[in-house]
A and B are shown apart, each in its own frame.
Chain A
Amino acid sequence: MNRFASLIDRLATHLDPDQQRRLLMDYFATTPNPDRAPAIALLTSTLKPRRVSLTLVRGLAEERIDPVLFAMSRSYTGDVVEAIALLWPARRRANRDPSLGEVVDALATLGKSELPKRIAQWLDASDAGGRWALIKLITGTLRAPVPLKRVREALADIDTNETAAPAPRPAQAELFRPKPARAKPRGPKTIDAVLMYTQRNPRSRSSPMTCTFGVWSTDTLVPVGKADLAHDAPDTARVAAFVAENTIARFGPVREVIRDRDKGLVLAVVFDGVERAVRRKAGIALRSPRIAEWCWKKTPRTAATLAALERLAPPE
């Protein structure tokens, strides 16, 4: 589990598609079954293991962790799964960490009464990264960190490697492709959006505020995503001051800020892709949006349009 978890972690921070493909290739090339097959299935979202409730896992954690420290840690990380993964007391004499295949098999075969004990043993034997991925996996909340296409590319490249020697380097492979046909790299993209709502996170000290931002659909702004304002970002105080001065409505902890075509706050948002999201007003959602910078000199009318984002979404 620890190895699979460290792959997931690396894929979540290495955003460059070429680096992601090579991380996957290396993992597949060095991981034999019974781990390889479930890893591919999880990364392509074709495996949906039986769900265990988070309440069960939390109960196991509460048996082992001081309640005050647990609450403080949950508030600090802003995430109960992460708090459990980081706080779970490591056991020196625990077994080796469970393999991915073992976890998937056991989830499918073990009876309900046997599961809690087994889960606790797995958590005892894993490292912090392994525990996080394990809890996400068994509670059905582990999301594939890369697009399906990337996994297919990596698998295809390994097949080529295994039959042909010497192994082609990625740079070499590109030489054989005619230049205009070369796929545009699918790296992170940036758009200008307009701040619509903010929500204070009094319990999370790693980010004081969550910002909801939108883009233009003809004359109205539609929300397309949320991103956390980093606690130590350079403009945090200035944004907070803007929100304080320009709030037009309050809904509990949420503040709506002024945002017409000429007045409002524009921010550059970096994201990894666009997904269809039928339940959202905009019909799309940004993948992993994060705040790149606050554009104090721009007016909202210069922000992006929904149509531009729709062009980046996969076909319906």
Chain B
Amino acid sequence: MRPAEVLVLTPAGLYCTAGDFYVDPVRKVPRAVITHGHSDHARSGHGAVLATAETLAVMGERYGAKFAGARQPARLGETIALGEARVTFKPAGHVLGSAQILVEAKGARVVVSGDYKRARDPTCPPFEPVACDIFITEATFGLPVFRHPPTETEVAKLLYSLKLFPERAHFVGAYSLGKAQRVIAMLREAGYHDPIFVDAATRRLCAVYAAHKVNLGRLLPLEDQTASTLTGKIVVGPSGARDDLMADGVSDPVTSFASGWMRVRKRARQAQVDLPLIISDHADWDELTQTAREVAPGELWITHGEEAALLHWAKAHGIAARPLAIKGYGDEEAVPA
């Protein structure tokens, strides 16, 4: 079998004929293998889902216990036979439970990376390069303007602001799965041990992290607080959680937003926040090119994001590459409207 025939692009997503399953399908399908719990990759209503235990727990938390007809947990490193294909889960370093899926069929090896990053993240194991014929990479930040600074320096900016404006609550806008927990974990690493206030949805996902031994320190509910208890405290949650903050009587928080897009001035201005923080769970330009070099696939398939620049780079570096237009994957780091 030619490597390019292992996975074919259909309207529902990438389909493996040899194993009769889809990877991260965007429509309801009988059998789905899921890379991670973000809602554009992990949808509810499939017949059967194969994913890491962590990803299954995240999906259960978001969609309720009946999110799929049947579910099967896979361990990182474990190989499972599906029809005439074999799938192996390898860490992707994106969020809790995130995995790359290695699909092997008749001697050909294809890796679907899902979303990934190479920067350190205390909440999940690091990305592991896997040798393969075809590597399917994301390209959310596939332009060389996107180079995320060390997350530690961004967290230090937040702590500096807290020191300078100790009478203000600090609201950090962060996507409720992955980003919020990483920001909290890195604040703890930086020596911040005060309680952190989180909205209900984020708190439920933090509980999933805690159940999988990721220590996030003391978290308190954001609802039903008073302005005085939030003075000089950090609040983490998606942008909508600002309403909870207003309900608590906090009208003038220092506002912050954590996203890789904050690297570009125009984007940072559009977010209309006091303190843009460049923190991302997606690979930046250097990580994308480093990964393509390390994996050294026979062919690089580039999906969701800025494909053109990465295609150009790959060509210039002698790596065969082509864009893969999968519809339906969003970007959880986008500036909320």
Contacts and interface: CB of A to CB of B under 8 A. Distances in A.
Interface of A: 10, 12-16, 19, 22-23, 26, 65-66, 68-69, 72-73, 76-79, 82-83, 86-87, 127-128, 132, 171, 204, 206-207, 228, 230-234, 290
Contacts of B334: 232
A69 B312 contact: yes
Which of A13, A14, A66, A68 has most B Cβ within 10 Å? A13
B274 A66 contact: no
A73 B285 CA distance: 12
A77 B164 contact: no
Given A22-B165, A26-B164, A86 B270 contact: no
B1 interface: no
A313 to B, nearest CB: 23
A228 B267 CA distance: 11
B313 interface: yes
B276 interface: yes
A262 B199 CA distance: 44
Contacts of A15: 274
Given A13-B269, A69-B313, A77-B265, A19 B274 contact: yes
B273 A13 contact: yes
A76 B334 CA distance: 16
Contact of A86 (B147, B165, B269, B316): B147
Contacts of A171: 167
Contact of B145 (A86, A204, A233): A86
Given A206-B266, A228-B266, 17 more contacts: A16-B274, A19-B165, A19-B274, A22-B165, A26-B164, A72-B309, A72-B312, A73-B144, A73-B309, A76-B264, A79-B266, A82-B265, A86-B264, A87-B144, A228-B270, A230-B335, A232-B335
A231 B337 CA distance: 10
Given A23-B164, A232-B337, A72 B264 contact: no
B154 to A, nearest CB: 12
Contacts of A234: 337
B72 interface: no
B145 A207 contact: no
A290 B269 contact: yes
Contact of B270 (A10, A14, A79, A206): A206
Contacts of B267: 206
Interface string B143-173: 1111101000000000000001101000000
5 contacts: A13-B269, A13-B273, A66-B316, A76-B306, A77-B265
Interface in B231-267: 252, 254, 263-267
B74 to A, nearest CB: 35
A79 B264 CA distance: 10
A76 B337 contact: no
A195 B186 CA distance: 45
